[in-house]
Amino acid sequence: MKIAIASGKGGTGKTTVASSLVSVWGAPLIAVDLDVEEPNLHLFLNPEYTGARTADMEIPKVDSALCSRCGKCSDLCQFKAISLMGEILMTFPEMCHGCGGCLAICPEKALTPDIRELGEISWGRIKTNEFLMGRLRIGEAMSPPLMRTVRKQLHGMMNAGSLDVSPKDVIIDAPPGVSCPAINAVMDSDFIVLVTEPTPFGVYDMKLAREAFTPMDIPMGVVVNRAGLGNSEIYEYCKASGLEILAEIPYDRGVAEAYAKGTIIAESSGAMKDIFLRLAKKLKEKADLPKNPGGAS
Amino acid sequence: MKKIAVTCESPSLDAQVDPRFGRAAGFLIVNPETMEFEFIDNGSSQVMAQGAGIQAAENVARSGAKVLLTGYVGPKAFQGLRGAGIEIGQNLENITVRQAIEKYKAGGVDMATEPNRMGHGGMGGGRGQGRMGNGR
Amino acid sequence: MIEILVISGKGGTGKTSLTAAFAHLARNHVICDLDVDAPDMHLILKPQHTQKTEFVSGHEAVIDPDKCEACGLCQEMCHYDAVIEKDGVYTINPLRCEGCKVCVAFCPAKAIDFQDRHCGQWYVSDTRFGPMVHAQLFPGEENSGLLVSLLRKKARAVAEEKGLSLILSDGTPGIGCPVIASLSGVTLAVIVTEPTPSGRHDLKRVAELCGHFNVPAGIIINKCDLNDKEAAAIEAFGAENGFALLGKLPHDPAITRAMIEGKAITEYTKNGFTGQLTAIWEQILSLAKANKQVVK
């Protein structure tokens, strides 16, 4: 089962929930950090790294001797990454979205693949669990290309086991927001956990997240973090929209201080561990239910 | 003498120089000896989601002009124009196209060695390309 | 024109709450909410729209079922897994479509339309703190930074029109294109962080991004009483790398209460916290003005 831990608003507790679930899950799983702009999961899980590599994207390289200046590539490119500037065919690598169109359309075979560095992918182990993360190069504007590469590697890891062993569960720490990075992180999952906080910002951004994710027909549930800190608007909204509240993590100064030390919250107290054990149990039960086309769980 | 492109707000020698390059209304392509001109609409750049400056540079390059006179040019447009061998005179505003050309002919316009405007950085500045950032 | 951008790297550090307070304290300014993905400033500022404009950007491919010959070439060529085939019928998933036009160009039946994408709305508004420029991207749309650039341009135009000299912007978490589009040419970036391992980790990345774009930055440590060691580590990082420490603020539950009442913290209470915040704002202003004098 693949579970994405997402939110609309940043800082609601995605990594807190993701790392805690990994801690109490009780069966071997793969923990993935897809918040490639600001990955934090490794700070809590402290994996033993077993490998790393740079991730690249294919961009066009021009052989001007073969280029006939027909301009087909320049006309096709929607992103102005390749441009016929008078008599010179120029590329602007940072604009490229890697669609492969120019390489495919060139009638002279004057374009060959070159690379743009996206960032780094690293992987390792936490006890019996596997770990995978991406880290975007600073200055690289787009996170989806790196996220796609990480997800491809994840599929490899998921299918690597022997056939008689059931596939490992996957827990994904997603980036905040509701635009393409968040969509990319949750799109292949079986269940989305929306982590929110009971404040006006939390409610507003959660509504956006629900709107963004609903077209994907993936069942969703809510975890309310810092419960008791704000007002009841979030509960009213969940009730009205049929969203199940899977767990509440009470606001507690002690929890905040544990988080500030890098402690996995499920390991900070018996009470917290119980909360996450119950959440994990509920999520595992979701795996056995038929998919609900409405999107709400 | 080489043809000169000037960003303009409307198709006339007495129109104001449009200080923006990428999203300028259009370009007047002028023969500086005869002062004959043609107008190139820059609408194709204005509607672009990204890369308006590059599209505008393409439009100028296609016109055959070898000199550009304008107000502000971002780093990618600058790169494109220089790649096409076009000289760039920047920081011109609050004057007419005619006045800009006369100034150039009199040697009163310094040709730019780097862009005078930060890009939008909409698609990232790469590793300190052009003028933006030192790269780390 | 002075442009101050409040960012954080990590989400949830208090960026928007503090920016709302600065918007209350500032004078002769335009307020800009550049977090077009998940904007929250309007929940406190309650803007009255004076201008509303559609944001149309990029395109999406749509297969015309009457012309489609189901050859599957679009699916083969699409780099984004955007083409879905079910029972021999091909459609394009708009959530995955990158708008690259490859399928449109290569379809042998010319069966694919390339339509404008209506991605969101942007507004010019009045608020009790001054004019505001903001937007809402429709959920799921690409946040390419274009809408951010558009808002900044509009904010500058409004400032010039009204003779105002300061633009105060609330930014987005992360380091991707919307943040990059917010940063270039900013007079001072104010990074709001928290004394936690995540806060420090993310601060370093966004601070490096500021350096990459030659934008001077200062740091506010919010919820500073959560962990003294982490707070000290952040102070040391700032000192070693030339980022001014603008201030340290303790965690104050009044911020949430103010948010619930739709008020900036400085409107809600005049306690020690708001006193500190006011002093921080004065420091931000003088640092920004000083930076403006420096010839680049």
Answer yes or no: is pLDDT of C4 > 60. Answer: yes
Contact between A143 and C213 (Cβ < 8 Å): no
Of B121, B128, B135, the CB nearest to C184: B121
Q: Which residues of A touch B83 (CB under 8 A)?
A: 85, 88, 90
- Looking at every residue in chain C, the average pLDDT score rounds to 93
What's the pLDDT at B52?
87
Return residues 163-192 of A near C (CB < 8 Å).
175-181, 183, 187
- Interchain CB contacts (distance < 8 Å): B and C: 54
Answer yes or no: is pLDDT of B131 > 70. Answer: no
Answer yes or no: is pLDDT of B128 > 70. Answer: no
- Rounded to the nearest angstrom, the minimum Cα separation between B48 and chain A is 9
Of C100, C172, C212, the CB nearest to A99: C100
Contact between C63 and C148 (Cβ < 8 Å): no
Of B49, B64, B124, the CB nearest to A140: B124
Contact between A258 and A176 (Cβ < 8 Å): no
Tokens of C51: 């201008």
Mutate to test the interface with C, among A15, A37, A211 (most CBs of C within 10 A): A37
- The pTM of this model reads 0.88
pLDDT confidence bin for A3, thresholds 50/70/90: very high
- Rounded to the nearest angstrom, the minimum Cα separation between C114 and chain A is 11
ipTM of the complex as predicted: 0.88
- Looking at every residue in chain B, the average pLDDT score rounds to 84
What's the pLDDT at B123?
41
**Digit-coded pLDDT (tens) for C100-159:** 999 999 999 999 999 999 999 999 999 999 999 999 999 888 877 889 989 998 999 999
A178/C227 touch (CB, cutoff 8 Å), yes or no: no
Answer yes or no: is pLDDT of C203 > 90. Answer: yes
Q: Which residues of C touch B119 (CB under 8 A)?
A: 184
Answer yes or no: is pLDDT of B49 > 80. Answer: no
**Digit-coded pLDDT (tens) for A132-146:** 999 999 989 889 999
> Which overall architecture, per CATH, does domain B1-27+64-118 show?
2-Layer Sandwich (3.30)
Which H helix or E strand runs over C291?
A: helix C272-293
What's the pLDDT at A288?
72
A138/C256 touch (CB, cutoff 8 Å), yes or no: no
**Could you state, in order of their start, the residue ranges of all structural domains in chain B?**
1-27+64-118
Q: Comparing A68-82, A279-293, B53-67, which segment has the lowest mean pLDDT?
A: A279-293
What's the pLDDT at C153?
87
Of B49, B84, B129, the CB nearest to A88: B84
Mutate to test the interface with C, among B114, B120, B127, B131 (most CBs of C within 10 A): B120
Place of tokens 């190069």: A137
Answer yes or no: is pLDDT of C294 > 80. Answer: no
| B43 interface with A at CB cutoff 8 Å | no
What's the pLDDT at C275?
93
Ordered DSSP codes for chain A: -EEEEE-SSTTSSHHHHHHHHHHH--S-EEEEE---SS--HHHHH--EEEEEEEEEEEEEEE-TTT-----HHHHH-SS-SEEEETTEEEE-GGG-----HHHHH-TT--EEEEEEEEEEEEEEEETTEEEEEEEEPTT---SHHHHHHHHHHHHHHHT-S-TTSPPPEEEEEPPSSSSHHHHHHHTT-SEEEEEE-SSHHHHHHHHHHHHHHGGGT--EEEEEEEETSS-SHHHHHHHHHT-EEEEEEE--HHHHHHHHTT--GGGT-HHHHHHHHHHHHHHHHHTTSPP-TTSB-
- Looking at every residue in chain A, the average pLDDT score rounds to 92
A38/C175 touch (CB, cutoff 8 Å), yes or no: yes
The domains located in chain A, with CATH, are 2-55+121-286 (3.40.50.300), 56-117 (3.30.70.20)
Q: Which of B62, B63, B72, B52 is nearest to B29 (CA)?
A: B63
| B42 interface with A at CB cutoff 8 Å | no
Nearest CA in chain C to A12: C12
**Digit-coded pLDDT (tens) for A12-33:** 999 999 999 999 999 989 999 9
Q: Which residues of C touch A16 (CB under 8 A)?
A: none
Answer yes or no: is pLDDT of A74 > 80. Answer: yes
The domains located in chain C, with CATH, are 2-46+128-293 (3.40.50.300), 57-118 (3.30.70.20)
Provide, rounded to the nearest whole percent, the portion of chain C with pLDDT above 70.
98
Q: Which residues of B touch A143 (CB under 8 A)?
A: none
Q: Which residues of C touch A37 (CB under 8 A)?
A: 173-176, 205
Comparison of pLDDT for B14 and B128, the residue scoring more: B14
B85/A86 touch (CB, cutoff 8 Å), yes or no: yes
Over range B118-129, report the average pLDDT.
42
Of A80, A88, A140, the CB nearest to B50: A80
C160, HSE (Cβ side, Cα atoms, 13 Å): 6
Contact between C26 and C2 (Cβ < 8 Å): no
Q: Which residues of A touch B62 (CB under 8 A)?
A: 86
Answer yes or no: is pLDDT of C17 > 60. Answer: yes
- Rounded to the nearest angstrom, the minimum Cα separation between B99 and chain A is 27
| B47 interface with A at CB cutoff 8 Å | no
Give the chains touching C; criterion: ≥3 Cβ pairs < 8 Å: A, B
C43/A98 touch (CB, cutoff 8 Å), yes or no: no
**Digit-coded pLDDT (tens) for A190-208:** 999 999 999 999 999 999 9
Over range B86-115, report the average pLDDT.
93
pLDDT confidence bin for A289, thresholds 50/70/90: low
| A94 interface with B at CB cutoff 8 Å | yes
What's the pLDDT at A167?
80
Report d(CA C64, CA C62) in Å as an integer.
6
| Chain centre distance of CA B110 | 14
A80/B133 touch (CB, cutoff 8 Å), yes or no: no
Tokens of C258: 């103010």
What's the pLDDT at B121?
53
Helix A270-286 to helix A14-24 angle (10° resolution) is 90
C59/A78 touch (CB, cutoff 8 Å), yes or no: yes
Q: How many CB atoms lie within 10 A of CB A214?
A: 16
Q: Which residues of B touch A138 (CB under 8 A)?
A: 136
| A167 interface with B at CB cutoff 8 Å | no
Contact between C220 and C250 (Cβ < 8 Å): no
Report d(CA C117, CA C122) in Å as an integer.
15
A38/C223 touch (CB, cutoff 8 Å), yes or no: no
What's the pLDDT at A21?
97
Answer yes or no: is pLDDT of B130 > 70. Answer: no
A85/B83 touch (CB, cutoff 8 Å), yes or no: yes
What's the pLDDT at C6?
97
What's the pLDDT at C278?
95
Contact between A220 and A209 (Cβ < 8 Å): no
What's the pLDDT at B122?
45
| A71 interface with B at CB cutoff 8 Å | no
Nearest CA in chain A to B63: A86
What's the pLDDT at B124?
35
Over range A101-112, report the average pLDDT.
97
C58/A15 touch (CB, cutoff 8 Å), yes or no: no
Q: A222-256 burial, b for 16+ CB within 10 Å, e for fewer? A: bbbbbbebbbeebbebbeeeebebbbbbebbeebb
| A277 interface with C at CB cutoff 8 Å | no
Mutate to test the interface with C, among A59, A80, A180 (most CBs of C within 10 A): A180
What's the pLDDT at B134?
26
Of A78, A139, A262, the CB nearest to C101: A78
Comparison of pLDDT for C251 and C142, the residue scoring more: C251
Nearest CA in chain B to C211: B133
Comparison of pLDDT for A62 and C95, the residue scoring more: A62
Of A143, A200, A211, the CB nearest to C176: A143
What's the pLDDT at A166?
74
- Interchain CB contacts (distance < 8 Å): A and B: 73
C140/A142 touch (CB, cutoff 8 Å), yes or no: no
- Rounded to the nearest angstrom, the minimum Cα separation between B80 and chain A is 7
